[in-house]
Structures are given as C-alpha cells and as structure tokens.
Amino acid sequence: MSGVLGKLGFIHRRLWDRDGMYRIALLFGPAPLIGCALAAGIWMGLRTLPAPEAPLPDWAKRPVSADRWDTSGEPQTARPDRPLPPVGANGALSGYEPGWQGTINPVDIKPMLDVTLKSTPLSAFFLDGSKIEMAQIIAAGPKNTPFAGVGSGFLAIRTPGVYAVSVRFERALGPIADCLVRLGFGPRRIVSNLLLADPGNTSKTYDAARFNLQPGLYQLAWAFGCWHDNEVVGPGRITILVSHPADQTLQPALPADIVRRERIKP
C-alpha cells in the first residue's frame, strides 16, 4: 500500500510542478470537477437529440417572399390597377384629385410585439401631400383605444420608365414608443416594420423597391401609428418617397404623383 501511495505522490508532485491546469483543477475540488464532468456528458448527449420543433410566434416569422417586393435587385414589372384617365380642363386627371383617402383602424397589441391591424375602420378622413404626421392621425381618431392611420391612393404614372418607391420614418424628441410603418404597392408590401423609437431623434429611410412602369394608376397604401402603453402618442412622421426616371435619388412624392378618387361635392 505504501508503494502505491508513494507512486501516487510522485505523480502528483510531477504534475503539480509541470502542469498549470492540474494545479487550477485541484483548486476547484472534487465536487465541482465531478459536476462539470456530468454536465459535459449531458451536453454531449443532448447534441445528438433532434431540436424541438415549436412553432414560431407571428412576430418572429420571416415574411413570405411572395408577399414582398424585392428591394435589392433589378427593376420589377408591375401592371397598373387602372388605366391613366384623361387630363381635364384644369390639368388634373379626370375624376381624381391629389391626396389620400385615410381611415382610422383599431390595432390589437399582444405580448411580444405582435400587432394586428384590424380591417374595419373607425372613421375616415382625407390627407394631402407626401408627409403624414402622427398629429393628423391622432386628431382623426378616438380616445382610449390604440389605433393606426391607414392611407390609400394611386401612384399616377404618366411617363414610362423605371421608378423607385419607399418611405422615411422620422420622430423628434418624445416619449419612448413602438411605431408601425407599412407601405404597400399593388398586391405586395415594400415595407412592414414595427420599431422601437427611443426618446431621442429617430430617422430611418427604408430600402426602395424599383419598378419598370407603364402609364396608368398603381395602388399605393400605407399604415402608420405609434403607441406607448397602448396609448397613441406623437410626435412622428412618415414621408412617401418616389424617384422618377430622370431622378438620381429618392425625393418626397410630388403633389401630382398621389391621387385619390374625386370627392362628390354636395
């Protein structure tokens, strides 16, 4: 027995002198070493098991490519939703006027930032221009319920060529908020984003989708809203951006670019 202990002592002294990892390991003591060994064995065993196939929540799913326009490739072809109407005596398109038809739509805000924009509007209003302010949406909406503004119109294309369409989000100093920004062109979306806007100045220009378009009217729609603790808050703004065949960069859409059906005057 003494011989065995002597050999073990000799081995211990050699390892202690020459192997720094051996000295560190002994400082942990037997119990932690055994625990680490067991954990390593369990981890290696779990690696061989198939990963669980739990379904992803809606907010975590990647959008289906068929529902999105490409924002990184060559110009895409889109067909006009309506033919280009004749030009009236005042130079405007017959039966149409500049601007958007807007609605206020309730939203259902669930845990994990899963936001559902409901299709039944609460009210309707009209907007002009390429810039949509949260103040306009708040003024047109109800109290004590979360909602978003939804705008629809047509992009009027008079000259054939390559166009690009996008949106810019801006928010000045204000309370922290979750903001929904969507932009649709025809049957697909260009942008669909729910972002956290911090209290400081925020600005984001989304990647544009490029199109090879012929004269006609193309459906264009947006959704915009900001909330803090389920309460609609400002400030905030989105700007619809368009580049024409002769443009080098995106610019705010011109008044003649966006049209809606002419309102029936009493």
Q: Helices 20-28 and 30-47: crossing angle, nearest 10°?
A: 100
Enumerate residue ranges in the chain where pLDDT < 50. Answer: 4, 7, 16, 24, 26-28, 46-47, 49-64
Query: Is the overall model pTM greater than 0.75, yes or no?
Result: no
Domain residue ranges of the chain, discontinuous segments joined by +: 2-47, 75-261
Find the angle CA(184)-CA(185)-CA(187) to the nearest 5 degrees: 90
Instruction: Give the Cα separation of 127 and 260 in Å (integer).
Output: 10
Q: What is the pLDDT of residue 60?
A: 39
Q: What is the pLDDT of residue 27?
A: 47
Instruction: Give the Cα separation of 15 and 80 in Å (integer).
Output: 81
Cis before 215 (ω within 30) = no
Find the angle CA(59)-CA(178)-CA(242) to the nearest 5 degrees: 90
| CATH class of domain segment(s) 75-261 | mainly beta
Distances (CA, A) of 146 to 29, 105, 110, 228, 229: 59, 9, 12, 9, 9
Distances (CA, A) of 40 to 27, 35, 44, 211: 19, 9, 6, 55
Q: Residue 6: enclosing H or E segment and its boundaries? A: helix 2-18
Q: What is the pLDDT of residue 13?
A: 55
Query: Six-digit token pair at 163?
Result: 């166009």
Q: What is the pLDDT of residue 50?
A: 46
Q: What is the pLDDT of residue 6?
A: 52
User: Hey, is 157 helix, strand or coil?
Assistant: strand
Chain segment 5-14, per-residue pLDDT in tens: 554 555 555 5
Instruction: Give the Cα separation of 127 and 151 in Å (integer).
Output: 8
The dihedral of CA 104, 92, 219, 255: what is its sign? negative
CB of 223 closer than 8 Å to CB of 149: yes
Closest by Cα among 160, 169, 155, 249 to 203: 169
Q: What is the pLDDT of residue 87?
A: 87
Chain segment 188-245, per-residue pLDDT in tens: 999 999 988 877 788 999 999 999 999 999 999 999 999 988 899 999 999 999 999 9
Q: What is the pLDDT of residue 59?
A: 36
